[in-house]
Amino acid sequence: MEEKLARYFSKESSEEECRQIHEWRSASDKNASEFLRYKMIWATSNQNYRSPYKADQITSGGIPFYRTNWFRYAASVILVLGLSLSFYYYSGYQFGFGSGMTEVVKLKDGSYVTLYKDATVTELAFSDDSRVVSMTGKAYFEVKGNKERSFVIYTDEAKIEVLGTSFLVDTEKEKTTEVVVETGVVTFSQNPENYKGRITAIKLEAGEKGMITPNARGLIKQNNRDANYLAWANYVLSFRAEELEEVARVVSEVYGFEVRFDNPAQANCKLTATYKKKSPEQIANLLAETFGFTYEISGKVITLSGPGC
């Protein structure tokens, strides 16, 4: 397994090896922990690796210990031989079907953050008195409850404050922050450091969505109507009379696979179905069975062929 992990982190694994590694990692918490440990060993031995998570540095003589030549050499040997080494590590890992679209981070207080693609989360102040982070991109937060210590997230446009809840924060659109609450209550307001004017705040509850956009004054609050807003994080895709063009968009967002239609009329076919933790290949097969299509997969492109609806 150590050699397979070395190839995996070097992006040299075959699709079959990727599948085996993901199955091994998800089989138990122990395996997941081992996966994290080996990833950090590889990362610290690779000068080109840049973690999106700003973990504390362990220093030696004023130089970060994990940047010393000795440690890089030792880490690479340890990774291949599978020996044991303990140190503070970046606890992120890729999740789901070898797509590499997400990464999960465990913060110091026990909260979890699922990052989408190039998203980042940075601890600004974490102590007995404060829990403050900044973020970019799109992320799903599962904040560990603490009535004595609120959890604060800053984006360029917004300030989000909670005591313990789960919610999505999306900053992928320029000068826009969106928050969708899954559980609990979130306080949503403009970032006081970057917003010139009167600061307003709203409360968002489960099932509600808040937005700061350049085209609207103040904050927008509405019910969340997107059933797939968390599909990229939990791999549950739900469609109710959705055209296949929209299904293709969701599959692309979740798995990084492009769905093409050999017949443009296929895109207008409507699907009602729920796919729970299916691979892209399984989804292509289910679509083919549902609509009488055939399909072909080449790389990360799924091509559907058949009549329209």
Q: Where are the alpha helices (DSSP H) in the chain?
A: 2-9, 15-26, 29-44, 69-81, 231-234, 244-255, 280-291
Given a cut of 60, whether residue 237 has pLDDT beyond it is yes
Pairing mode, if any, of strands 301-305 and 131-142?
unpaired
pLDDT at position 37, please? 57
Share of the chain above pLDDT 70, in %: 75
96 vs 19: CA distance, rounded Å: 9
pLDDT tens digits, one per residue of 79-131: 443 322 222 222 222 333 445 689 899 998 999 999 998 899 998 988 878 89
Contact 134, 124 (CB under 8 A): yes
Domain ranges of the chain: 2-88, 102-223, 235-305
Q: Judge whether 102-223 and 235-305 match in fold.
A: no
pTM: 0.68
User: Please, which pLDDT band fits residue 297 given cuts at 50, 70 and 90?
Assistant: very high
Contact 247, 239 (CB under 8 A): yes
215 vs 204: CA distance, rounded Å: 21
The answer as to CATH 1.10.1740.10 being correct for domain 235-305 is: no
User: Please, which pLDDT band fits residue 230 given cuts at 50, 70 and 90?
Assistant: very high
pLDDT at position 125, please? 87
Given a cut of 80, whether residue 191 has pLDDT beyond it is yes
User: Please, which pLDDT band fits residue 24 given cuts at 50, 70 and 90?
Assistant: confident
Q: Where are the alpha helices (DSSP H) in 144-219?
A: none
User: Please, which pLDDT band fits residue 13 given cuts at 50, 70 and 90?
Assistant: confident
Tokens of 156: 């360029």
What values do phi and psi take at 275, rounded to 5?
-110, 115
What values do phi and psi take at 256, rounded to 5?
80, 15
Beta strands in 78-176 (DSSP E): 92-94, 102-106, 112-126, 131-142, 151-154, 158-162, 166-170
Q: How is the beta sheet containing 301-305 ordered, strand by strand?
A: 258-261, 301-305, 294-298
Contact 146, 164 (CB under 8 A): yes
User: Please, which pLDDT band fits residue 231 given cuts at 50, 70 and 90?
Assistant: very high
User: Please, which pLDDT band fits residue 22 given cuts at 50, 70 and 90?
Assistant: confident
Q: What is the mean pLDDT of residues 18-26?
A: 75
Task: Give the amino acid at 174.
Answer: E
CATH class of 102-223: mainly beta
- 43 or 263: which leads in pLDDT: 263
pLDDT at position 38, please? 65
Given a cut of 50, whether residue 45 has pLDDT beyond it is no
pLDDT at position 30, please? 63
Q: Which of 28-37, 183-192, 209-218, 292-301 has the lowest mean pLDDT?
A: 28-37
- 230 or 194: which leads in pLDDT: 230
